[in-house]
Amino acid sequence: METVARSQPTAGADAAPKDATLIYRQSRWTRLTHWLWAISLFFMLLSGLQIFNARPQLYIGKESGFDYNNTVFAIGAENTATGTRGYTEIFGKRFDTTGVLGWSGPAGQETARGFPSWATIPSYYDLGTARVVHFFFAWILSTTLVVWLVASVINGHLRRDLAPRIDDLKRLPRDIVNHAKLKFHHTREYNTLQKTAYGGVLFVLLPLMIITGLAMSPSMNSVLPFLNDLLGGRQTARTIHFVVMVLLVGFFIIHMLMILAAGPINELRSIITGWYRTDPPAHSDNTPERSA
């Protein structure tokens, strides 16, 4: 996820080139948090899928089991006339997902498992290792997010770069049309769609993932006993946690597609070195939009 800190080059930054369209846009702190979040979410996703495989069902409510009918999502395998088949069930609607979900593996060595081995950390079933990896990166993500939030309030980055303004809302229809046409303007500021997307991730999805993760932890029940009731029970919290993960994966896919469409070299240079090439002034006047 890309966050912007509008800062001038510091003494430690590379000397600014003569090309006026190349600006120093990303501070070292912005670049560091970006990669910490990206790495943390990657390991949390794959280890989380391993943890999910221990019980590949999701429920709504405080309890689950054979006496309840509150399953909303399930991955499994069943014996059929043509052999073992994998399936995914969503709100009672079943889909054949053999080879990917429920029943997967090399030909002749398939096994019953929720997510396939190539999508989990570790690739073999090891719940203990998966939990260690998941919680380690969860703490890195949570700590970095809290520090970033406090720093962004203090240095004005939050108000200056992410808070939507009235003018942003007026430009929303044009932003939607431009993105649909893959038409991008490379300027310093975020457009309305980007502010909405990044704000949703930073202030809704990531905090919700952390809160639901705490609610699922038995050790946190004595510290924050109200969380489970607030979220509708541990099973509901687990379902919300999974849905947030799906939304974050969707955000990542769209984010990467926008980067590829807008110019991957320019975008990667920005988040690695801090330097970003903007449109010439003649093309960027009165168009405070920026690519992914």
Q: Kindly report, residue by residue over 73-101, the tens digit of the pLDDT.
A: 999 999 999 899 999 999 999 999 999 99
pLDDT at 23: 79
Q: Are residues 47 and 69 in the same domain?
A: no
Q: Are residues 131 and 262 in the same domain?
A: yes
pLDDT at 290: 43
Question: Quick check: is 146 in a domain?
Answer: yes
Q: Are residues 110 and 130 in the same domain?
A: no
pLDDT at 65: 60
Q: Are residues 187 and 261 in the same domain?
A: yes
Lowest mean pLDDT among 40-49, 197-206, 209-218, 278-287: 278-287
Q: Are residues 29 and 107 in the same domain?
A: no
Task: For residue 107, name the pLDDT band (cuts at 50, 70, 90).
Answer: confident
Q: Are residues 152 and 98 in the same domain?
A: no
Task: For residue 18, name the pLDDT band (cuts at 50, 70, 90).
Answer: low
Mean of the per-residue pLDDT values for the chain?
84
Q: Is it the case that residue 51 has pLDDT exceeding 60? A: yes
CA distance 194 to 148: 18
Lowest mean pLDDT among 139-143, 228-232, 244-248: 228-232
Q: Are residues 83 and 106 in the same domain?
A: yes
pLDDT at 213: 92
Question: Quick check: is 289 in a domain?
Answer: no
Domain boundary among 74, 95, 114: 114
pLDDT at 175: 83
Most confident stretch, 38-42, 191-195, 277-281: 38-42
Residue 75: domain span:
57-114
Question: Quick check: is 10 in a domain?
Answer: no
Q: Are residues 50 and 72 in the same domain?
A: no
Q: Are residues 48 and 62 in the same domain?
A: no
Q: Are residues 36 and 130 in the same domain?
A: yes
Lowest mean pLDDT among 36-45, 104-113, 183-192: 183-192
Q: What is the CATH number of the domain that holds 249?
A: 1.20.950.20
Q: Are residues 137 and 196 in the same domain?
A: yes
Question: Quick check: is 244 in a domain?
Answer: yes
Question: Quick check: is 189 in a domain?
Answer: yes
Domain boundary among 75, 94, 114: 114
Q: Are residues 148 and 233 in the same domain?
A: yes
Q: Is it the case that residue 281 has pLDDT exceeding 50? A: yes
Contact 3, 270 (CB under 8 A): no
Task: For residue 110, name the pLDDT band (cuts at 50, 70, 90).
Answer: very high
CA distance 109 to 75: 19
Number of structural domains the chain divides into: 2
Contact 274, 31 (CB under 8 A): yes
Domain boundary among 114, 136, 159: 114
Nearest to 40 by CA among 204, 210, 154, 199: 210
Question: Quick check: is 245 in a domain?
Answer: yes
Question: Quick check: is 133 in a domain?
Answer: yes
Containing 276, the helix (H) or strand (E) segment is: strand 275-277
DSSP string, 6-37: -----TTSPPPPS-TTEEE-S-HHHHHHHHHH
pLDDT at 145: 92
Question: Quick check: is 86 in a domain?
Answer: yes
Tokens at residue 244, please? 């947030």
